[in-house]
Structure 1
Amino acid sequence: MNTSGSYRMIDISGPVHPQMWHYPDPYFAPEIFDLPPVSWLTEPVYSEAVRMPLQTGTYVETAAHVRPDGVRLDDVPLARTVLLPAVCVQVPKGPGEPVRAREVRRVLDNIGPGPWDGYGLLISTGWGTHWDEPDYLDACPYFDDDVIDEVLAQRFSLLGGDTPRFENPAAPSGHLRRFFRSDALLLAPLANLGAVGSNSGHLIAAPLPIRRISASPVRAVWVQGLGV
């Protein structure tokens, strides 16, 4: 956590490393390796290379993930991912438990009356503490269908969570395709959301400037106390 002036920044990204979890094939764990010595410089330099799917660690994703004609990240304005007004709600869950819309609404009502049109919504289940545990991917909590209904009804512009799967892994309903029919972005999986609490603030999750991609790893940061 960094503090500067009247605001503070909280890193809400999960760490990337070769032994981390990853989605099933064709996805794979990140590979990080040293590059050989550089022959065109007189002084030695040291560099690394990374090979990994774009949905590695914490990433932002567009509708192009589920349909070829969806918007690509290089067409998304920076204001959608840099200092985006956002709210974070704490809805603690155990392995395999669903997050329900009524639980999200209850916390939102305590934060403020809205409207939340254009805001980002981050949902913290506490699962981020399992980032390096064997059950992280297969036993994670998930969002019930009515959470997606709520996000669309409230016109949130981004949905983020600290779980690597938003749908029920045992019985996926396809609600992410319905989610992506809107203009909303997906941000997941996050970590350290417990340090944010149930709060309003601003979100930074800028994608890499790579052309024509549907997803990008990000360094996600919560900014508290910045003001309007």
Structure 2
Amino acid sequence: MALTSTNKIDLTHLLDPDNISLYPDDPAFKCCPIATVSNDSYSVHSLSLGSHTGTHIDAPSHFIEGGITIDEVPLEQTTDRKAIAVDLTYKKGGEKITWEEDLADKLAALSVNLEGLVLLLYTGWSKYWGTPTYTESYPFLDRRAAEQLLFRGIKTIGMDTLSPDQIDGPEGYGVHNSILGAGGLLVENLNNLSALVEGETVAEVMVSFVPLSLKGCDGSPVRAFGWKVWKD
């Protein structure tokens, strides 16, 4: 049986200092030329950014004392992962994504073994990237939903929002603590997830989130991409 793959879909926001959304109080992103071809015969830029700038991945050490750091995350956990994408674009800013109302029936309808899959939560919030709306109010995941996903073997969750948790919400950072505490990974600020949920439902979705190998660091910006595979 032959396999047919689609072209790679870039799931990454462009890192542009003039058009970026940052978590409150995170370091600013700067990309400044320090040498140019016209003046120096070569080009070099100076970079300054936080470990959770742009489309990025959280290592367990982001929230868990003694958790593994981004350089210790095996490549097998970040590359060529089978995934499922769930359409949640009906959720509004500030609304909670729950297990009972938003995920249980959708995942059951897929009739697949969830063990080891990456779950992509497509809210459509990436359209607000670079605007106050992106950080002020976005759909967020309920801790109980995260615990239900862990129970079913899902330990990597990706979202097209600033965070799976509400900023300084009344429930704290339960999703971060649950997923990262189980040795899982969180991928935040994804883009173009619509391309992985639209079209043929028989496609197998694959994703990669490639971090920098930063010694002892709690996360890293990534180049994220995905593709669909059909069985002919």
Name the TM-score class by shorter chain: 0.7 to 0.9
Q: Which moved more, 1:200-209 or 1:100-109?
A: 100-109
Partner residue in 1 for 2:213: 209
Deviation, 1:226, is 6.5
Deviation, 1:106, is 2.2
Cα distance, 1:226–1:186 mapped onto 2, change above 3 Å: farther
TM-score, scaled to structure 2: 0.86
CA contact (8 A) 2:5 2:227 kept: no
Partner residue in 2 for 1:189: 189
- Counterpart Cα distance in 2 of 1:171 and 1:15: 32
Deviation, 1:208, is 0.8
Partner residue in 2 for 1:80: 77
Deviation, 1:9, is 1.5
Partner residue in 1 for 2:63: 66
Percent of residue pairs bearing the same amino acid type: 24
Partner residue in 2 for 1:135: 133
- Counterpart Cα distance in 1 of 2:21 and 2:74: 30
Which ranges of structure 2 fall in alignment gaps of 5 or more residues?
Answer: none
Counterpart residue type for residue 218 of structure 1: V
Counterpart residue type for residue 219 of structure 1: R
Q: Which moved more, 1:160-169 or 1:198-207?
A: 198-207
- Counterpart Cα distance in 2 of 1:163 and 1:37: 35
Partner residue in 1 for 2:178: 178
- Counterpart Cα distance in 1 of 2:130 and 2:161: 13
Secondary structure of 1:220's match? strand
- Counterpart Cα distance in 2 of 1:66 and 1:187: 14
Deviation digits for residues 154-209 of structure 1, max 9, x if unmatched? 11131111111212234233312122220211101211111211664111101112
TM-score, scaled to structure 1: 0.88
Deviation, 1:28, is 2.2
- Counterpart Cα distance in 2 of 1:172 and 1:16: 31
Secondary structure of 1:116's match? coil
Task: Map residues 140-159 of structure 1 onto 2, 5 A cutoff.
Answer: 140-159=138-157
- Counterpart Cα distance in 1 of 2:157 and 2:5: 27
- Counterpart Cα distance in 2 of 1:65 and 1:201: 27
Partner residue in 1 for 2:44: 47
Counterpart residue type for residue 28 of structure 1: P
Structural RMSD (CA): 2.1
CA contact (8 A) 1:91 1:104 kept: no
Deviation, 1:49, is 2.0
Cα distance, 1:37–1:129 mapped onto 2, change above 3 Å: closer
Secondary structure of 1:136's match? helix
CA contact (8 A) 1:21 1:29 kept: no
Secondary structure of 1:180's match? helix
